[in-house]
């Protein structure tokens, strides 16, 4: 059933193709990523994709001398403002990583000139990503959590994920499994999440030291790559990430609020989405962060949940997803909310051809493809509940944040149902590989008329047998 591989152009061609579809939009004035003088016009080209103005991600060839790299940068009136070499890159034998080049030329022009330089392997925009949401547990017993229901559960909904049927078989405990949330941060003190907050086993809380040697101090619950600090929850604006967390692992059976697909699970955060969205550069750091945690600490990390999109093709991000694949980590991604066919429109990161990607469309409680959901017969894998999904959010006011709940819609809401299902399957099939978990999820999909010819499986998530 895999749709991955064989249908994509060369990285160089894709980088330029993605740019031709991009939005030439400037960042907000207070965006720390924006160059001192934004020279590009605030215009929107076909496709509506945004990127950081005045910045290009560059991968130099390993054989290129430093003088040649400097020459290539000078040709575009640029300077290297950051070199990203994650621990996982080094572990894979890559000591040079990627460079963020700030230029006074228009990004499209700079990329074309860099790609013509023999010292450059590829050059691409630093895409800006956004969330993919439209804005005895009481929400279960009153029927609100339709996305957890199944045909034979009570309450019942044939178009739900079937998670409640698995609960009925005693399959609620995923406490030996980690899920990485690449998103906004999430409210670690929420009454329905606090018991499921995961911890980095190599870090000691509050000692001000980088105990595990990954370059990040006190990353006990994860890391904020947008703010470059250990705070994975920054208040009311982290509602999207908190909502995602509740669908994966809201504490079940506690008589409070909601229940996630997994009642007990370990949730870790790699926050890269802030008030202005998130960049490709920080997405790469987030993906590699979890890969490093698994490969060095051996944590049982089954998947990352990725409810974001809006950028074009990035070879650098695809490479990071490939490193996660080599570590046995699934990359579960939202199809996007533009109501477009991903066979002909850009739907990254969902349409990357890596074997570990599961791309998720959204369906309604009546089984229809959600009106906003992207789709693709060979690019999007499966549908899952994504319309009118109730989950955890921060409430109250900035100085008095409380545990609250809200109903959101989006492929962002569909994706964590699948992420939770992956954790549930791993919990009760501990020897399963990432490929086997993906095969189980896609192979158990229930045929659905609205998804026939629109997703690879032609069906929706069915976790009832997990």
Same domain, 227 and 123: no
As a whole number of angstroms, the distance between CA 262 and CA 275 comes to: 29
| Backbone φ and ψ of 231, nearest 5° | -80, 105
As a whole number of angstroms, the distance between CA 158 and CA 152 comes to: 8
Q: Which residues are catalytic?
A: 183, 240, 412
Q: DSSP secondary structure string, 290-329?
A: HHHHHHHH---EEEEEE-EE-B---HHHHHHHHHHHHTT-
Question: β-strand 446-447 against 459-460: which pairing, if any?
Answer: antiparallel
Q: How much is the pLDDT for 136?
A: 65
Same domain, 117 and 142: no
Question: β-strand 120-131 against 308-309: which pairing, if any?
Answer: antiparallel
Q: How much is the pLDDT for 153?
A: 86
Same domain, 229 and 372: yes
Q: What is the DSSP letter of 250?
A: P
State the CATH number of the domain containing residue 343.
3.40.50.200
- Entry field: residues in the chain: 466
DSSP-based three-state secondary structure for 364? coil
Same domain, 153 and 101: no
Same domain, 124 and 213: no
In a domain, 466, yes or no: no
Q: How much is the pLDDT for 70?
A: 96
146 touches 157 (CB < 8 A): yes
329 touches 299 (CB < 8 A): no
Same domain, 234 and 198: yes
Cis peptide before 409 (omega within 30 of 0): no
- How many CA atoms does the CB half-sphere of 162 hold within 13 Å? 21
In a domain, 356, yes or no: yes
Same domain, 143 and 267: yes
Q: Which residues of 210-220 are buried (b: 16+ CB within 10 A; e: fewer)?
A: ebbebebebbb
Beta-bridged to residue 332, according to DSSP, are 305, 358
In the chain, the number of structural domains is 2
Alpha-carbon distances of 146 from 263, 365, 382, rounded to whole Å: 16, 7, 18
In a domain, 52, yes or no: yes
Q: How much is the pLDDT for 11?
A: 33
In a domain, 80, yes or no: yes
Residue 422 host element (H or E): helix 411-428
Same domain, 351 and 245: yes
Contacts of 435 (CB under 8 A, 6+ apart): 355, 356
425 touches 440 (CB < 8 A): yes
In a domain, 395, yes or no: yes
Q: DSSP secondary structure string, 86-133?
A: -HHHHHTT-SS-EEEEEESS-HHHHHHHHHTSTTEEEEEEEEEEEE--
As a whole number of angstroms, the distance between CA 207 and CA 219 comes to: 11
Largest CA distance in the chain: 68
CB atoms within 10 A of CB 41: 11
Q: How much is the pLDDT for 137?
A: 66
What angle do the packed helices 66-75 and 107-115 form, to 10 degrees? 140
In a domain, 284, yes or no: yes
CB atoms within 10 A of CB 252: 26
List per-residue pLDDT tens for the chain, 466 residues long. 444 433 333 333 223 222 322 222 222 222 223 233 333 333 233 357 889 999 999 999 988 899 999 999 999 999 999 999 999 999 999 999 999 999 999 999 999 999 999 999 999 999 999 988 654 667 888 888 898 888 878 888 999 898 989 998 899 999 999 999 999 999 999 999 999 999 999 999 999 999 999 999 999 999 999 999 999 999 999 999 999 999 999 999 999 899 999 999 999 999 999 988 999 999 999 999 999 999 999 999 999 999 999 999 999 999 999 999 999 999 999 999 999 999 999 999 999 999 999 999 999 999 999 999 999 999 999 999 999 999 999 999 988 999 999 999 999 999 999 999 999 999 999 999 999 999 999 999 999 999 999 999 999 999 999 9
Same domain, 182 and 294: yes
In a domain, 337, yes or no: yes
352, 353, 354, 355 alpha-carbon torsion, rounded to 10°:
130
Same domain, 384 and 424: yes
161 touches 148 (CB < 8 A): yes
CB atoms within 10 A of CB 420: 33
User: CA angle, corner 239, sides to 139 and 300, nearest 5?
Assistant: 80
Q: DSSP secondary structure string, 167-222?
A: HHTT--EEEEEEEEEEES---TT-TTTGGGB---TT--TTS-S-TTSSS-TT-SSE
Residue 285 host element (H or E): helix 280-297
In a domain, 2, yes or no: no
Q: What is the DSSP letter of 62?
A: T
Helices then strands, counting H and E runs in the chain, come out as 11, 19
| 107, 128, 149 - which closes a domain | 128
Contacts of 270 (CB under 8 A, 6+ apart): 180, 181, 182, 222, 223, 225, 285, 286, 287, 289, 290, 304
State the CATH number of the domain containing residue 40.
3.30.70.80
Same domain, 166 and 62: no
Residue whose C-alpha is closest to residue 247's, from 238, 258, 239, 236:
258
Alpha-carbon distances of 13 from 19, 20, 285, 343, rounded to whole Å: 10, 11, 24, 17
Contacts of 328 (CB under 8 A, 6+ apart): 294, 433, 434
Q: What residue numbers bound the domain in which 94 lies?
A: 11-128
Same domain, 116 and 156: no
């Amino acid at each position: 059933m895999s749709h991955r591989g064989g249908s994509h152009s060369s990285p160089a061609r894709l980088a330029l193709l993605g740019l031709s579809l991009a939005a030439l939009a400037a960042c907000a004035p207070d965006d720390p990523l924006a160059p001192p003088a934004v020279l590009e016009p605030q215009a929107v080209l076909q496709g509506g994709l945004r990127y950081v103005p005045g910045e290009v991600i560059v991968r130099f060839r390993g054989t290129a001398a430093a003088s040649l790299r400097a020459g290539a940068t000078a040709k575009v009136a640029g300077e290297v403002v950051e070199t990203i070499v994650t621990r996982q890159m080094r572990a894979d034998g890559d000591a040079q990583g990627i460079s963020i080049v700030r230029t006074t030329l228009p990004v499209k022009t700079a990329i074309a000139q860099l790609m013509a330089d023999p010292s450059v392997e590829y050059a691409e925009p630093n895409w800006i990503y956004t969330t993919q949401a439209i804005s005895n547990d009481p929400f279960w017993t009153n029927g609100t959590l339709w996305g957890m229901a199944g045909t034979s559960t009570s309450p019942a909904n044939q178009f739900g994920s079937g998670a409640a049927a698995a609960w009925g078989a005693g399959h609620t405990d995923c406490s030996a499994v980690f899920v990485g949330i690449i998103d906004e941060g999430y409210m670690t003190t929420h009454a329905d999440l606090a018991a499921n907050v995961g911890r980095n086993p190599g870090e000691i809380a509050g000692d001000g030291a980088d105990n595990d040697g990954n370059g990040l101090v006190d990353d006990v619950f994860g890391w904020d790559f947008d703010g470059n600090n250990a705070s994975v929850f920054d208040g009311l604006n982290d509602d999207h990430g908190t909502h995602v967390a509740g669908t994966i692992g809201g504490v079940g059976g506690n008589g409070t609020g909601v229940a996630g697909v997994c009642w007990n699970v370990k949730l870790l955060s790699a926050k890269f989405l802030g008030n202005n969205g998130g960049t490709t550069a920080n997405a790469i750091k987030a993906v590699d962060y979890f890969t490093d945690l698994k490969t060095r600490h051996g944590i049982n990390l089954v998947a990352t949940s990725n409810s974001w999109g809006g950028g074009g093709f990035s070879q650098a991000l695809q490479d990071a997803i490939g490193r996660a694949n080599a570590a046995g980590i699934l990359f579960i991604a939202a199809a996007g909310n533009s109501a477009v066919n991903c066979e002909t429109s850009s739907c990254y990161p969902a349409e990357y051809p890596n074997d570990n990607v599961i791309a998720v469309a959204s369906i309604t409680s009546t089984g229809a493809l959600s009106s906003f959901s992207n789709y693709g017969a060979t690019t999007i894998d499966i549908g899952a509940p994504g319309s009118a999904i109730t989950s955890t959010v921060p409430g109250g006011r900035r100085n008095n944040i409380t545990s609250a709940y809200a109903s959101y819609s989006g492929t962002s809401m569909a994706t964590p149902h699948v992420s939770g299902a992956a954790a549930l399957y791993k919990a009760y099939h501990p020897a399963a590989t990432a490929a086997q978990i993906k095969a189980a999820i896609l192979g158990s999909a229930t045929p659905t008329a609205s998804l026939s010819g629109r997703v690879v499986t032609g069906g929706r998530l069915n976790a009832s047998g997990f």
